[in-house]
Each structure stands twice: as structure tokens, then as C-alpha cells.
């Protein structure tokens, strides 16, 4: 009994402490969270595009050099690369989708990017623009018209871009990039390793262009024009030039994070506000609090002392789940908040099942202590089965759903897991500790349910 009392006190203190820090640092569920000095200032709630607004970017993809039957695959690869690049910057639940502006695929491909919480358009553009476009070009055949350029001094020179023609080998086939240093000059260089398809393409390019230059282009500009001495069958290439170690390291990181399979051009930008707005969010929080208070009032009136314990357990559950939302962190959208509210209902449902079983044991003449143990044991199987089914539903929704549905599924699944802990462990510990009140009429009245007796 003493051990259970100590454990109950520790849980109560931890729950109260967690709740204090969560709600002290987050007085309102809006984008100004974390304004006070606390540990949680560095872990604010992440709000989705519908609650906090963000940036909406539209890009045009240049697929003119891509074979028609490969346009769809190239756009899918482009979308994956952009998503991976954005995720590196910590943007939660970005929405990146391909849009066909023409009647047929490849007529005009566009990429739509929504970045929740990023209201600085320049920052949003920078996230996308830092992803490099890596291309390999070979010398143009003899007789190909050469474009000339004139500098400010009137000097005429051939345009280097017109001297080379594109090949199928791009950063799409890059497996990895590594930073190395020349053993003689100690100058940094970037070593490239292609995948199986890229290795075959590079081997063919070097075989067909012995004694000629193969230009390596990054973001449309030539950064290296080595002369091919022999065929390179192992799929390894080297980019060397006037790199500093820092520049070379940055290039390696950018290439490894994803090289664009096709070039993109920014068409339009838009900063969008929260769809629901602060007032709607605050109204939703107020409604949630009122709903919680009504549920707590019902539990206390109907189940008396166990209802009070369930309310306390529910408060600890809410504090724990909100803390997890902060520390993981979880992006809260309107759908995600709905999943959280449903999980609160599931937590209450588990307590109702337990208390009903305890009530049945008390009616059969069991002592309060035995009724509590038997009630939890009998209710466990129903709670287990219902929560497993809820978890399976959440997993399926998360696995197959869109980003909006995934937010709902994630908060629901987390809530189900934590609610099982709060209902089975926290509530049981507190109820067991209360066994000291004895077996008198008052004790049985406090553990009974309903408005009578």
C-alpha cells in the first residue's frame, strides 16, 4: 500500500508538473505559443497550413528534353526530391503535388508546393532553389551553329552552352556524392557515384567521347569540363575546380539531399493566411475545455469518487499527450486536433468500462479492494480489443491516407496508446491507494454509481 501511495504521489507530481509547463508555455493554441521563458519555448506546438498559414509556390518543370514516356516518372521523382529537400529544413507536412496544365501529360508540367508555417516567401524559395540540377553534356557535333556573346568591352566570344548538348545522364541517377581531397594538391573535389542506370549511361558517354570534353553542369552553369581519356565503366565521376572546402562540403550535402531530375522555374508565389484563423482556433479550444468540464462533471456526479479519479487521470493524460505533441514534434491541423479530441473520448470510455465492472463486483458482495482488482481484470479484455481495433484503423489511415488524413491518424493513434496507460495504470494506482477508506457505508457510497443511494 505504501509503495502504491508513493507511486501515485510521483505520478500526480509529474502530471501536474508536465501540465504546468505545457499550459504555462502555451496559454493559447495559436502561432504565438512559446512566448514565455521556459523549456518548452524551444519546443512550440507545430501548426499546419490550415491553422498557421504558410507559403504557396507554383513551379514550371522543363520536360522538353525528357522522352514522352518518361515524363510521368520524372515528375514523380521531382516531387520526391523536393519533399525530401523540404523535410531536411524541418517543415512539417509539406504538400507537394504534380499538376498537368495541358491536355496531355508533358504539355506543361507544374509543381505545386505548400509550406505550412513558412510565411517568408524568400525563405520558401530558398528551400527549393538550393536543390541543385546536375547535368552531363557532351560536345556538339561538328557543324552545329554556335551562339556568340558580346561582353561590355565589345569582345566577341562563343557561348559555351551552345558548344555542348545534353545527354540522358542527370542527377536523377546519382547514388551518392562524397567529399575528397587531391593527394597532390590537397584541393577539395567531389566524387560522384551513379546507380546502375547511371553507370551504364556514363560508361556509354565516356566510350563515345574519348579525347573530347564532357561538361558537368550544375544549376545550368558549367562547373567542370574534363577531357575523357578512356571509358569509365564503374560509374564514378569527379567534380574538381576552384572549390573551398566549405563550398565542396555544401555541394556534397546538396547533391546527396537530392538533385533535381528536371529544371524548374518559379511561376508564382503567394503567402496565405490561416484558413481557420486565430479566432476560430481559440473558439475550438474553448469548446474543447467546456466539453471536458462537462464530461468531468458527469463522471464525478455519476461515478462519484472513481469519477473524480478518472478526471484526474484524464488531466494527466492530456498533459502527457500535449507534451509528446511538443517534443516529437507533431504538426497540429484541424484534423489532428479532432483525432486528439476523439482520443480523449476513448480514454473516458475505458474508465466507464472499468467502473461498470467494479460496480457489478460491489453488488455481488465483494470488498472494495477485491472489486477494484476484479473490475480491472474483467474490463481489460474489452479495453484491449477496442483499442487494438482503433490502433489498426489509425495505422491504415496513416499508411494509405493523404497528409491531412495522416495528421488525424497520428494524433488518434498516439492518444489511444497513452489513454491505455492512463486508464489501466494511473487510474488503477489511484483507486488502489484509496483502499484505506475502509468498507463502511460511506466508502461504499463513494464507490457506488448513479444519483440514488
Confirm if 355 and 383 have CB atoms less than 8 A apart. Answer: no
User: pLDDT of 200-228, one tens digit each?
Assistant: 999 999 899 888 888 888 777 787 788 88
Judge whether 21 lies within some domain: yes
Position 34 scores a pLDDT of 39
Q: Is the pLDDT of residue 1 over 50?
A: no
What was the pLDDT predicted at 201? Answer: 92
Order of strands, sheet of 236-240, starting from the edge strand that comes earlier in the sequence: 174-181, 188-194, 236-240
- Select the more confidently predicted residue: 207 or 12: 207
Give how many domains the chain has, as a whole number: 3
Do 420 and 368 share a structural domain? Answer: yes
- In this prediction, residue 74 carries a pLDDT of 81
Name the grid cell of 355: 467502473
C-alpha–C-alpha distance, residues 389 and 383, integer Å:
10
Residue 151 lies in a domain: no
Give the global pTM: 0.54
Whether 11 has a pLDDT exceeding 60, the answer reads: no
Sign of CA dihedral 199, 201, 206, 212: negative
CA atoms in the 13 A half-sphere facing the CB of 196: 0
pLDDT of residue 93: 64
Is 194 a member of any domain? yes
Q: How far apart are CA 133 and CA 416, in angstroms?
A: 44
Q: For position 178, what pLDDT does the model report? A: 87
What distance in Å separates the CA atoms of residue 155 and residue 351, rounded to the nearest whole number? Answer: 85
d(CA 6, CA 149): 83
Instruction: Kindly state whether residues 23 and 114 are assigned to the same domain.
Output: no
pLDDT in tens, 268-308: 887 766 665 566 567 667 777 887 888 888 888 888 888 88
Residue 453 lies in a domain: no
Mind listing the pLDDT tens digit for each residue in 120-130? 777 777 767 65
Q: Measured between alpha carbons, how far is 86 from 94 in angstroms, rounded to an integer?
A: 7
Q: Are residues 328 and 427 in the same domain?
A: yes
Is the CB of residue 214 less than 8 Å from the CB of residue 228?
yes
Alpha helices in 260-333 (DSSP H): 277-303, 305-327
> 385 with 333, same domain?
yes
Residue ending a domain, choose from 270, 297, 319:
270
Q: What is the pLDDT of residue 19?
A: 47
**What pLDDT sits at residue 54?**
79
> Do 176 and 73 share a domain, yes or no?
no
The H-assigned helical ranges of 328-402 are: 334-363, 368-400
pLDDT tops 70 at residue 61: yes
User: Which letter does DSSP use for residue 167 in this model?
Assistant: E
Would you say 198 and 210 are in contact if contact means Cβ atoms under 8 Å apart?
A: no
Highest mean pLDDT among 29-33, 112-116, 148-152, 233-237: 233-237
In a domain, 149, yes or no: no
- At residue 302, φ and ψ (nearest 5 deg) are -85, -40
Cell numbers 470510455: residue:
349
Where among 204, 239, 270 does a domain terminate? 270
Q: Residue 150 domain-assigned?
A: no
Residue 226 lies in domain: 134-142+159-270
Which pLDDT does position 179 carry in this prediction? 87
Report the CATH number at residue 33: 1.20.1640.10
Residue 204 DSSP label: H
Tell me the CATH number at 257: 3.30.1360.200
pLDDT in tens, 323-339: 888 887 677 777 788 88
Same domain, yes or no: 424 and 283: yes
The whole-chain average pLDDT of the chain stands at: 75
- Let me know whether 67 and 190 are in one domain: no
Q: Are residues 201 and 235 in the same domain?
A: yes
**Residue among 158, 139, 163, 140 at smallest CA distance from 148:** 158
| Bridge partners for 177 per DSSP | 192
* Mean of pLDDT values over 417-433: 81
Residues 319 and 436 in one domain: yes
User: E strands, 45-132, where?
Assistant: 46-47, 54-61, 95-100, 109-116
Residues 58 and 195 both lie in one domain: no
Segment among 10-19, 64-73, 102-111, 213-222 with least mean pLDDT: 10-19
Q: What is the largest CA-CA distance in the chain?
A: 107
**In this structure, are 407 and 315 located in the same domain?**
yes
Instruction: Tell me, yes or no, whether 89 lies in a domain.
Output: yes
| Domain-embedded: residue 54 | yes
Shared-domain flag, residues 35 and 55: no
Q: What number of helices (H) and strands (E) belong to the chain? A: 13, 15
**pLDDT of 200:** 92
State the burial class of residue 269 (Cβ atoms within 10 Å of its Cβ: 0-12, 13-18, 19+). Answer: middle
Statement: residue 248 has pLDDT above 50: yes
> Out of 35-44, 180-189, 219-228, 383-392, which region has the weakest mean confidence (pLDDT)?
35-44
Which residue among 270, 287, 320 closes a domain? 270
Amino acid at each position: 500500500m505504501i509503495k502504491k501511495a508513493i507511486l501515485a504521489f510521483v505520478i500526480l507530481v509529474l502530471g501536474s508538473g508536465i501540465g504546468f509547463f505545457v499550459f504555462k508555455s502555451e496559454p493559447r493554441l495559436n502561432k504565438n505559443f512559446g512566448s514565455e521563458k521556459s523549456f518548452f519555448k524551444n519546443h512550440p506546438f507545430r501548426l499546419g497550413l490550415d491553422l498557421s498559414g504558410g507559403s504557396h509556390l507554383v513551379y514550371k518543370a522543363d520536360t522538353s528534353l525528357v522522352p514522352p514516356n518518361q515524363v510521368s516518372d520524372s515528375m514523380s521523382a521531382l516531387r520526391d526530391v523536393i519533399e525530401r529537400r523540404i523535410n531536411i529544413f524541418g517543415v512539417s507536412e509539406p504538400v507537394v503535388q504534380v499538376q498537368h496544365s495541358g491536355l496531355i501529360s508533358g504539355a506543361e508540367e507544374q509543381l505545386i508546393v505548400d509550406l505550412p508555417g513558412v510565411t517568408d516567401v524568400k525563405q520558401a524559395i530558398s528551400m527549393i532553389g538550393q536543390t541543385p540540377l546536375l547535368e552531363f553534356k557532351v560536345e556538339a557535333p561538328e557543324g552545329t551553329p554556335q551562339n556568340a556573346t558580346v561582353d561590355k568591352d565589345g569582345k566577341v566570344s562563343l557561348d559555351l552552352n551552345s558548344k555542348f548538348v545534353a545527354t540522358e545522364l542527370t542527377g536523377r541517377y546519382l547514388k551518392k556524392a562524397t567529399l575528397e581531397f587531391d593527394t597532390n594538391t590537397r584541393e577539395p573535389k567531389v566524387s560522384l557515384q551513379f546507380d546502375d542506370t547511371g553507370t551504364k549511361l556514363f560508361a556509354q558517354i565516356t566510350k563515345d567521347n574519348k579525347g573530347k570534353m564532357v561538361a558537368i553542369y550544375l544549376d545550368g552553369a558549367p562547373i567542370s569540363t574534363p577531357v575523357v581519356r578512356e571509358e569509365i565503366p564503374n560509374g564514378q565521376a569527379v567534380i574538381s575546380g576552384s572549390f573551398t572546402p566549405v563550398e565542396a562540403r555544401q555541394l556534397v550535402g546538396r547533391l546527396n539531399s537530392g538533385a533535381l531530375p528536371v529544371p524548374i522555374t518559379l511561376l508564382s508565389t503567394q503567402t496565405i493566411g490561416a484558413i481557420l484563423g486565430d479566432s476560430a482556433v481559440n473558439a475550438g479550444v474553448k469548446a474543447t475545455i467546456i466539453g471536458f468540464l462537462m464530461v468531468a462533471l458527469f463522471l464525478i456526479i455519476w461515478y462519484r469518487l472513481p469519477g473524480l479519479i478518472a478526471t484526474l487521470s484524464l488531466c494527466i493524460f492530456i498533459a502527457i499527450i500535449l507534451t509528446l505533441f511538443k517534443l516529437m514534434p507533431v504538426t497540429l491541423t484541424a484534423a489532428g486536433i479532432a483525432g486528439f479530441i476523439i482520443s480523449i473520448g476513448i480514454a473516458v470510455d475505458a474508465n466507464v468500462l472499468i467502473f461498470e465492472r467494479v460496480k457489478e463486483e460491489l453488488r455481488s458482495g465483494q470488498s472494495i479492494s477485491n472489486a477494484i482488482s476484479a473490475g480491472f481484470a474483467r474490463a481489460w479484455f474489452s479495453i484491449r480489443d477496442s483499442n487494438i481495433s482503433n490502433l489498426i484503423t489509425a495505422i491504415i489511415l496513416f499508411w494509405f491516407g493523404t497528409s491531412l488524413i495522416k495528421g488525424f491518424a497520428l494524433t488518434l493513434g498516439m492518444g489511444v496508446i497513452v489513454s491505455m496507460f492512463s486508464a489501466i495504470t494511473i487510474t488503477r494506482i489511484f483507486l488502489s491507494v484509496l483502499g484505506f477508506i475502509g468498507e463502511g457505508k460511506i466508502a461504499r457510497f463513494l464507490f457506488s454509481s448513479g444519483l440514488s443511494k
